[in-house]
Structure 1
Amino acid sequence: MFSFFNKKMHIDHIEWLGVDMHAHWLPGIDDGAKNMEMALNFMKSLQDLGFKKLLATPHVFAELYPNNREIIESTLEDTKQALKASSLPIETGAAAEYMVNEDFEITSNMMCLPKKHILIELSYVSEMPNIEQIIFNLQVKGYIVVLAHPERYSFYQDKHQRFHRLKEMGVLFQLNLLSVSGYYGKDVKRLAEYLLQKNYYDLAGTDLHHDKHLQALTIEIQSGRLFTKLGNVDFKNMELFF
């Protein structure tokens, strides 16, 4: 655990978070990095910003990105080989970001973050009617459910009781770092601030997809603005995933 004093010494870095547990830098398998060159650039840039470990979480979404363990692990291995060849020393790993919709299935071969943490996302249009049952079913199988960027689901804007219910169920919440900057809009920023005030966030990630994300993140981190907003939040990235 980093002390406030140690954080204060590096307000223009993101060493205080340490692990990026949600990003899309595995090349060519979703809407993130398009090729290996872009993937390596993303990883080097994230390391320069202060991350000590990078975990890729490509989409698993049957309609658009039908990824599975074999695809993700093979692409990760290729990426690690490219990292080695480029002499870029940083620890990496991969899980998945599962879209929970009518096609979602629980299997015994799911790609999880360390310690059986499973990252899920919802449609931006509406909440799954049986989301609580799906979460319960995952928990019965021993998974710890992490909900990606809850601040970005517009259907929760006026239904804060749904957040309370999910937290009661033991769901961990993951914040997109750029949400607090207004990158995704005022409503998302406002909801992120509400969830921060309630101390509902357990984890944070870049959700890096493209150069615009990287540029915005770089500005927010190196200016010290991100530390000012989030540096004292008790995120558990290092504790759980390092």
Structure 2
Amino acid sequence: MHSHLIPDVDDGVNTTDQALVCLKQLADWGIKKVITTPHISRDWYPNESAQLRAEQITLQALATDNGLQLTVEIAAEYLLDEFFPALLEADDLLTFGSAKYLLFELGWAAAPHQVDDIIFRLQTRGYTPVLAHPERYSYYYDDPSPLEHLHEMGCLFQLNWASLTGRYGDRAQAQARLMLKKGWVDFVGSDLHRPNDLTALSALFSSTDYDLLRKQPLLNESLL
């Protein structure tokens, strides 16, 4: 429920060939449904909902035409930038699941302001906010209490499974383990951007953290 497999719309795959390589590997791992989530941000990736829905149809056809038993759906990974409130006001948001899960990310440079307010506004409009890869935000490494606060507010957390293999460094890996031990992980996602990511993802299955991840009450299967 987090990947970047629509060709040439963000920093994910560039071609249909790359997308197909990724889809084939996901299918080989036994995954039945892929909810791909292109970036949406005004300054970097100003994608629009209608455009991405059309791209989903093309990606589903690619999977079907190549004999893959995969359902491909579309959502998005929204950056909480200064333009996001306008999208929220227009009710023009791509979500997934019956609970209208909305995947969002934060900026990398500094802890954001007014996240509580945005989460509250999402909830009052019937969305269920899901924070992408909270284990990767360095400003929460020394003090994870803000993450605990967000989770207690009802903001769900999505873990990148490659964080458990060291793909993003030791600190992200340690934060991922902490989140698992505290029971803060609601979804696991690949955050797959390109075929080169597949090696780091496959390393999870022989990782000592794999059993810990499997014990989490993940919501992924509820999306099938």
Give TM class, smaller chain: over 0.9
Task: Summarize the alignment of residues 227-242 of structure 1 with structure 2, pairs less than 5 Å apart.
Answer: 227-239=210-222, 241-242=223-224
1:72 lines up with 2:52 in the alignment: yes
Alignment of 1:10-21 (within 5 A): 21=1
User: Aligned residue for 1:46?
Assistant: 26
Higher mean C-alpha deviation, range 33-42 or range 83-92: 83-92
- 1:8 is aligned to none
Cα distance in structure 2, aligned partners of 1:30 and 1:213: 16
Q: Structure 1 235/41 Cα, relative in aligned 2: closer, same or farther at 3 Å?
A: same
Aligned partners of 2:164 and 2:204 also within 8 Å: no
The answer to whether residue 192 in structure 2 is matched with residue 212 in structure 1 is no
Q: Is the 8 A contact 2:158 2:185 kept in 1?
A: yes
Aligned residues: 220
Alignment partner of 1:112 is 2:92: no
**Alignment of 1:147 onto 2:131:** yes
Distance in 2 (CA, whole Å) between partners of 1:42 and 1:74 is 20
Contact 1:101 1:128 (8 Å CA) reproduced: no
SS in structure 1 at match of 2:158? strand
Q: Structure 2 counterpart of 1:236, which letter?
A: L
Extract unaligned runs of 5+ from structure 2: none
Superposition RMSD in Å: 1.4
User: Are 1:84 and 2:69 an aligned pair?
Assistant: no
* 1:152-191 equivalent positions in 2, closer than 5 A: 152-191=136-175
Is contact 2:6–2:12 with CA below 8 Å preserved after alignment?
yes
Check whether the contact 2:4–2:11 (CA below 8 A) recurs between aligned residues. yes
| Contact persistence 2:165–2:203 (CA under 8 A) | no
Q: Distance in 2 between matches of 1:154 and 1:133?
A: 22
Displacement of 1:117 in angstroms is 0.5
Q: Deviation of residue 114 (structure 1)? A: 1.3
Mapped pair 1:130 → 2:114:
yes
Question: SS at the partner of 1:93?
Answer: strand
**1:210 positional shift:** 1.4
- Give the TM-score taking structure 1 as reference length: 0.87
Structure 1 distance, partners of 2:31, 2:64, is 18
SS in 2 for 1:70: helix
Equivalents in 2 of 1:90, 1:74: separation in Å? 17
Higher relative contact order (CA 8 A, sep 6+): 1
What amino acid is the match of 2:80?
V
Aligned residue number for residue 15 of structure 1: none
C-alpha separation in 2, matches of 1:152 and 1:129: 18
1:58 aligned residue (38, 44, 47): 38
Q: Secondary structure at the match of 2:119?
A: helix
